[in-house]
Copies of this chain bind each other. A is one copy, B any other.
């Protein structure tokens, strides 16, 4: 395109309204409106072509193209136009296009799963233990503490309480995060962080979940800790520290809610509330 024609061409594009409906984000990127996508593939190809020409002339940076499931027919033409996948959720796939010549600085997709493990000791010195129905420990006879993944939007301390309730029916109060372990290449090339929590039981009657849990019981702590499975050095360390915590010899992170001015919901900060001379607010 000759320089002289550039402005005129742009003007035409702007006026033609053949471009995709979109907004500009704070990083000078483009967010395409997924509710105004052409359903016809050829119309989409034409609009995308004109839009990219416009955005390039405007020196925009990253383009975000969210294609809901009902627009799955547009995935292939978008890829052919040079878009790449960014992430996907069950009902959509997000594609991006990086316009500048410099390396892409778009934020990457979520990188971690977050898991919780719950050490629950009752006043008789018994620990809440389960056997799993599925996965690598299936049929091994190993008794372990209840574990699970935190749900989308769920706080770590809530997740620990929920998992214990779901798997065993026991009500608990979150006390402390003893420590955390980070692992890599756990699932789909992703990493995970596992928060080991100590909880106080508020009820005693076990009501086992049937789909995931083979067996659940209050188990003598000594017997639990002596299982060959627990002699793995990190796991042994974890159990020792849980015991030390319940005896007041170890201090992990409690949590406290903070309200930022602009946020309706509190955010939780987990830290050593003992050293801070404060009480934990679970």
Contacts and interface: CB of A to CB of B under 8 A. Distances in A.
Interface in A137-171: 149-153, 155-156
Given A90-B84, A191-B152, A180 B234 contact: no
B92 A85 contact: yes
Contact of A258 (B87, B107, B108, B234): B234
Contact of A108 (B84, B152, B185, B244): B152
Given A93-B88, A276-B250, A110 B190 contact: yes
Given A110-B110, A111-B113, A114-B111, A179 B272 contact: yes
A107 B187 contact: yes
B79 A76 contact: no
Nearest to A187: B107
B189 A152 contact: yes
Nearest to A184: B153
Interface residues of A, number: 79
Contact of A94 (B88, B153, B269): B88
A25 to B, nearest CB: 12
Contacts of A76: 72-73, 75-76
A149 B241 contact: no
Nearest to A236: B258
A188 B241 contact: no
Interface in A227-282: 232-234, 237-238, 241, 244, 249-253, 258-261, 265, 267-272, 275-276
11 contacts: A85-B91, A93-B93, A107-B149, A108-B149, A109-B188, A110-B188, A112-B113, A152-B191, A155-B182, A179-B269, A233-B259
Given A184-B265, A234-B267, A244-B275, 8 more contacts: A85-B93, A107-B149, A110-B111, A110-B191, A111-B113, A152-B191, A250-B275, A252-B272
